[in-house]
Amino acid sequence: MGLLDNQKAKKELKIIEDWCKGCGICVAFCPKNVLTMENDKVVISDLDKCIKCGLCELRCPDYAIYLEVV
């Protein structure tokens, strides 16, 4: 899969709740404010605004959030 193929791929934002330690780094780096904190865990608050840039996945130190190609 080349770079252009990867950009066209449909991706879905996923959170592994058990792995999230509630640090908030992904929330801070999300350029579209898609993520928020609730009960010391990250939640997807507005998925429609997600541009699937991958910054949340890149910055999460616990690998608790990722973009899955579907």
* 50: DSSP letter: -
Domain count, the chain: 1
Q: Containing domain of residue 52, as a range? A: 21-69
Q: Decide if 42 is inside a domain.
A: yes
Quote the pTM value.
0.82
List phi, psi (to 5°) of 24: 85, 5
Q: Decide if 39 is inside a domain.
A: yes
Q: Give the pLDDT of residue 61.
A: 97
The overall average pLDDT reported for the chain is 91
Q: Decide if 45 is inside a domain.
A: yes
Question: Within 13 Å, how many C-alpha atoms sit on residue 33's CB side?
Answer: 0
What CATH number did the domain enclosing 36 receive? 3.30.70.20
Q: What is the pLDDT of residues 19-42, one digit of tens each?
A: 999 999 999 999 999 999 999 999
Q: Decide if 11 is inside a domain.
A: no
Instruction: Tell me the residue type at 43.
Output: V
Q: Decide if 26 is inside a domain.
A: yes
